[in-house]
Structure formats: structure tokens, C-alpha cells
Amino acid sequence: MNTMKTILITTTLLLALSTQAQVKVNTELKNLIGQSFGYFPKVKEVENTVTTAQEKINLTQLNKYPDVTADASYAYVRPKIELPINGDKFQFAPLHNLNGAINANYALFDFGRLQANINRSKDDLQFAKHQVDYVKAQLAYQVANVYYNIVFLQKAIGIQDSVLGFLNENKRIVESQLKNGTALRIDLLNIQASIDNEENRKVDLTNSLQKQLNLLEYTTGVKQNKSKDFDFDVNLTDASNALATAQTQNPDFMLAKDKIQQASSDLAITRTADKPMIGLRAAAGIKNGYVPYIGDMRFNYLAGVSFTMPIYNGGKNKQQQKLQQNIIKQNEMAVESLSSTYKKDIEQALTDIATNLDRIKNTRGQTEQAQSAQLLATNRLKSGTGTHLEITNAGANVQRAALTRLQYEYQLCIAKLELTRLMGYQYW
């Protein structure tokens, strides 16, 4: 027994270490996810279903004990039951009938009924535990999504600040040139209009950031995010291996398989309905009415064996078995459908990862070219040979390149997060 426990503990530790090796996640995100488990009400709700399922097992197991009841009764009976014997009237039953007894019933052989119901209750407990895992996985995914949305928005606001700094610097150059008579008033108005547009974009980004921080507080109770990088990572694999991992670790598959087991247990319970039942019955108490001293209260007892055998119920039990078998088949088909859906989603996630990696690689040259063009436009503007249109276009191209790269980095991070969720890795 101790050896089996050691093997189970070792296997669990190896699985946990393997999962950690597959996924890279920072400590702050882990702590936020862990805090959400204790803060978000839905987790507490599903955790209570585990307690409920355990109580159901305890209740079912109590059926192995006998049922003991106490009965007491009084009845006034008329007409009086009496017969003439040797010239006297002999009374066979009292007018006042009194009875008190302790009764006990015990199922001696139930031919698997109790065990079948215990197994069904254990299936419910396993389902409840996997339901907790499912809710935690969904919540962790939501927290991680919000977390990296915040990182994206913070970076985007940083880009906006950089653009505004660039435009304000150019505004000062134009103002100086306007005083010297080498620039037109319309140039200053145009660059101010560009600044106003970028300020409005920053306001929109700041508003979105605040909403994400509110959502983070809703799920975790914390309204801050210190991370500045898309540092989530997962070891990549092919679609077939990823699907195989999902089928063994993802809570969706665990719940689907639990439903098959529950239906199988229901079928086992239904099959026991055709089995006989052998029980013991005993009772002891006091009552009156015993001839010839019918008024006296006398001790009495009984003990016996009962046998019950179902013979005919119109075929309801056989039909119930057919129904349960069809439910099992239906749940098995649901697992196949789930596998098909997950295969598609995993392939899509892997495609998104590969695509965004290529996109990020391609944006490096674009960013360098845009920055060089911006520097050239700035120098031309300072020397008086450039125009406001050139500097605006150059700034817009740099901003567009930076935001494009940021968007691809964010999409790559989210795609990796989605792949991790699909494979069922616990990264918290």
C-alpha cells in the first residue's frame, strides 16, 4: 500500500515538473491567477459541489446499515369479540388494543445494488473535482488574457507618448521657423492638428487600459500590472502530439469522459433492478390481546428472512437499459466531436504562432527604414529644406511600424496562451 502511494506521489510530481518545463510564465501572473482562485466567487461555488458530492457518497454508504424504527399504537375496537363457553361469555379480543415495538430491517444480500449506487456517487465526486479544474482553467485563461491586454495597451500608450514627443519637438521647430519667416502659419496649424489627433488616440488607449484594469480587479481583487513584456512561452509541438496531450490533460476531455462513466454507472444500477433481494427482519415489543388474558401487556418478538424477486414490469427495465446504452454511445460520440473541434483549434493556434513569428521577423526591416526616414525628414525640416507633410508622413510610418510589430507580438503571446489552454497545461 505504501509502495502504491509512493508511486502515485512520484507520478504526480513528475507530471507537475513536466508541465512547468513546458510552459514559461512570470511570477506576477502566477500570483494573480492564484489570488483569483480565492477571490472569484464562481470558484468557491464549484468547490462546494465537491463537498456536496462527498456528502452524497457518505449518505449512500449509510444504506449498508439496518433501519431501526419504533412503533406505538392504540385502537378502540367495537363490537366486542366474545363467545359463550360453558354458560360464560369469553372475550377473544380487548376493546382497548395497545402495541409498542422496535423493528429492524436489514438487506442481507442486495446482489450489487448498494455498490452500484456507491460507484455512481463516486463518479459524481470525480465529475465535481474536474468541474473545479475546468473553472480554474477558464479563470486562469481569462486573467492571463487581461494581463497581456494590459501589457499591450501600456506599450501602445508608450508608442503614443513617443509620437507626441516627436510631434511636439517638430512643433517647436516650426514655431522657431515661423518667427524667422521660413515657415507658414498653416504648417503650425497642421502639426497642431496632428498632435490633437494623437492625443485623442492616447485618450482612447488610456480608457481601454482602465477598463482592463477594472476587469483584472473584478477577477483577482488586484488593480495593477507591473509586467512590461509578452513573456509567456510554451514549447511548441505538432498538432497530433498537442491533441494527444489535450485528450489526457484538458478538463473538457476529463468532463466528457466523466459523463461516459456516469452513464455506465447508471446502466449498472439499472441492471441490478432485475436482481433478487434477501433481507432480514426482526421486531420486539409489548402488546395486549393474547388469549386468555387479553388485557395483559405481554412481551413478544419475531425474526425472519424475506426474499423478493422481480418477475415482470412490462419491459420497463429492459427499455431503461437500452436508453442508458444509447446515452453512453451519445457521450462517446461527444468525445469524438470534442476531439475534432480541438484538433481544428490546435491547428489554428499553431498557424497563428507560425504566422506571427514570420510577421515579427518581417517588421524589423520596416521599422528600421521608417526610423531612418523619420530622422532624415527631421534633419530636412531643421535645415529648412523639408516640409510639414514629410515630417508628418515619416512620423506616421514610424508609429504604424511600431504598432504593427506590437500587435504581432501581442497576437503571438495570445496564440501561445491559447495553445497552452487547449493542451490543458496548468501554468499557475
Report how far residue 197's alpha carbon sits from residue 146's, in angstroms, rounded to the nearest whole number: 27
Q: Are residues 339 and 236 in the same domain?
A: yes
**Tens digit of pLDDT for each residue in 16-59?**
445 556 899 999 999 999 999 999 999 999 999 999 999 999 99
Query: In this structure, how many other beta carbons lie within 10 angstroms of the beta carbon of residue 163?
Result: 21
Q: Are residues 374 and 283 in the same domain?
A: no
Find out whether the peptide bond into 66 is cis, omega within 30 degrees of 0: no
Q: Are residues 123 and 265 in the same domain?
A: yes
List the domain range (segments joined by +) for residue 290.
71-109+276-309
Residue 294 lies in a domain: yes
Residue 168 lies in a domain: yes
Residue 3 lies in a domain: no
Residue 11 lies in a domain: no
Residue 5 lies in a domain: no
Q: What value does the mean pLDDT of the chain take?
A: 88
**pLDDT band, residue 182 (cuts 50/70/90):** low
What average pLDDT does range 331-340 have in this prediction?
Answer: 97
Residue 289 lies in a domain: yes
CATH (domain of 212): 1.20.1600.10
Q: Are residues 360 and 370 in the same domain?
A: yes
Phi, psi angles (nearest 5°) of residue 290 = -85, 125
**Short-list 270, 268, 324, 262, CA closest to 128:** 262
C-alpha separations of 11 from 14, 16, 18, 183, 423 in Å: 5, 9, 10, 75, 19
For 159, the 3-state DSSP assignment is helix
Residue 55 lies in a domain: yes
Q: Are residues 125 and 49 in the same domain?
A: yes
Q: Are residues 143 and 292 in the same domain?
A: no
**Tens digit of pLDDT for each residue in 373-388?**
777 777 775 666 666 6
What average pLDDT does range 74-97 have in this prediction?
Answer: 85
Number of domains observed in the structure of the chain: 2
